[in-house]
Amino acid sequence: MSEEAKEKKYSADSIQALEGMEHVRMRPSMYIGDTGVRGLHHLVYEVVDNSIDEALAGHCDAIKVDINEDNSITVEDNGRGIPIDLHKKEGVSALEVVMTKIGAGGKFDNSNYKVSGGLNGVGASVVNALSGKMIAEIHREGFLWKQEYQQGITVTPLEQIEESKKTGTQITFWPDETIFDHTDFNFEILAHRLRELAFLNKGILITIRDNRTERFQEFKYDGGIAAFIKHINENKSVLHETPVYFSGKSDDVELEVAFQYNDSYTERIYSFVNNINTVEGGTHLTGFKGALTRTLNSYMTANKITNDSKENLSGEDVREGMAAVISARVTNPQFE
Ligand code: 0RA
């Protein structure tokens, strides 16, 4: 490519990037659902999601969330750190690409953001677009690196701040007051979701500190969704002490299931795909329900508990008093 062509491509790329950012700011609800309380807290989940991905890749075991006194949020992980080397195609650091480039438009519309386990890795740039200010601090390659953005636009070059022996990513953001109805974060809302994430992703230490009130909670569940079930049944009389737990993998799908009966009549089944609660259910939930009913009925027949197929248990029968969590991980999600 000639220098002139490069220049042209560069300005075409930056116009496109700007348009991506402007689109997020113009239509925030297409990316984060709404600009009320839900959308505001969704910003935190998007940033945390990237750290969870780093943990699932096996490079991070602690994620720290701070609500700061000025209502900004800091999310810190001890992963490898977002790469700071030059991204050849974009002509800026990989960090700057992650923070400022929105993925191809239309791919991340409202209909699929709920099932994709975050915004397909574009979460950081969306949060950046909707933040009056955002600061990325990266510990990597022996140094602390820092860059600052405003409303998704880079305002300082990537700076080498000081020597550092550790690795990890720290993102601080101030939600844009011109976009959100309110910008005060609720400790309980964040703590509830972070606890859920700790159940769904066993072994990761997730902490939340509210620097406005000094409240602090930490979550780490080596038992994963089996611990989740114990939590759900906490104040119930259980019919068996240990939850049933199993997991399996097939092609691009990983599945974990845990359940435990209590002496109530209520069925409480929570299903997740890529850490997102699938309230509308789906094949993972229907599959589980069908398999459970079928298995118990064939057990009854095989063990002559009943000889009469008319005496088969219904799905509702076998789910009475059941607390269950089904967690599916799809590596290459195809969205409808
Ligand atoms: C891609 C490559 C590498 C790290 C990450 C992404 C990364 C992203 C985030 C976002 C939040 N925390 C993160 N931690 C890591 C590193 C690739 C390498 O070192 O070889």
Sequential DSSP letters for 295-325: HHHHHHHHTTS---GGGPPPHHHHHTTEEEE
Question: How confident is the model at residue 280, as a pLDDT?
Answer: 87
Mutate to test the pocket of ligand 1, among 78, 80, 141, 206 (most ligand atoms within 8 A of CB): 80
Q: How far is the centre of ligand 1, averaged over its atoms, from the C-alpha of 207 (Å)?
A: 20
The rounded distance, in Å, linking the Cα atoms of 120 and 107 is 9
- In short, whether 170's Cβ falls inside 6 Å of ligand 1 is no
Residue owning the nearest CA to atom 10 of ligand 1: 50
Q: What residue owns the CA closest to ligand 1's atom 12? A: 51
pLDDT at 108: 35
The sign of the dihedral angle between the CA atoms of 299, 304, 307, 312 is negative
- Using left for φ > 0, alpha for ψ between -120 and 50, and beta otherwise, residue 150 falls in beta
Contact 90, 66 (CB under 8 A): no
Contacts 24+ apart (CB under 8 A), 250-253: 252/330, 252/331, 252/332, 253/328, 253/329, 253/330, 253/331
- pTM (2 d.p.): 0.89
Return the percent helix, strand and coil in the chain, to nearest 5. 35, 30, 35
Q: Would you say the CB of residue 54 lies under 6 angstroms from ligand 1?
A: yes
pLDDT tens for the chain, 336 residues long, are 777 776 776 677 766 767 788 999 999 999 999 999 999 999 999 999 999 999 999 999 999 999 999 999 999 999 999 999 998 888 899 999 999 988 633 333 333 333 335 555 579 999 999 999 999 999 999 999 999 999 999 999 999 999 999 999 999 999 999 999 999 999 999 999 999 999 999 999 999 999 999 999 999 999 999 999 999 999 999 999 999 999 999 988 999 999 999 999 999 999 999 999 998 888 899 999 999 999 999 998 888 887 666 778 999 999 999 999 999 999 866 543
Contacts 24+ apart (CB under 8 A), 185-190: 185/40, 185/41, 185/44, 185/67, 185/71, 185/73, 186/37, 186/41, 187/67, 187/213, 187/215, 189/37, 189/41, 190/41, 190/44, 190/65, 190/67
Select from 44, 46, 48, 53 the residue to mutate for testing ligand 1; criterion: most ligand atoms less than 8 Å from CB.
53
Separation CA 183–CA 71 (nearest Å): 7
Q: How far apart are CA 189 and CA 274, in angstroms?
A: 20
Q: What is the whole-number distance in angstroms between the Cα of residue 8 and the centre of ligand 1? A: 30
Verify whether ligand 1 is closer than 6 Å to residue 51 (CB atom).
yes
Per-residue pLDDT at 11: 73
Residue with CA at minimum distance from ligand 1 atom 19: 80
Give the model's pLDDT for residue 281.
Answer: 86
Spatial contact of 82 and 100, defined as CB atoms under 8 Å apart: no
Give the residue whose CA is nearest to atom 1 of ligand 1: 82
> Using CA atoms, how far apart are residues 170 and 74, in angstroms rounded to an integer?
7
Report the amino acid identity of residue 16: Q
pLDDT at 163: 98
Whose tokens are 């750290």? That residue is 51
Count of other CB atoms within 10 angstroms of residue 244: 14
Q: What local confidence, expressed as pLDDT, does residue 5 receive? A: 75
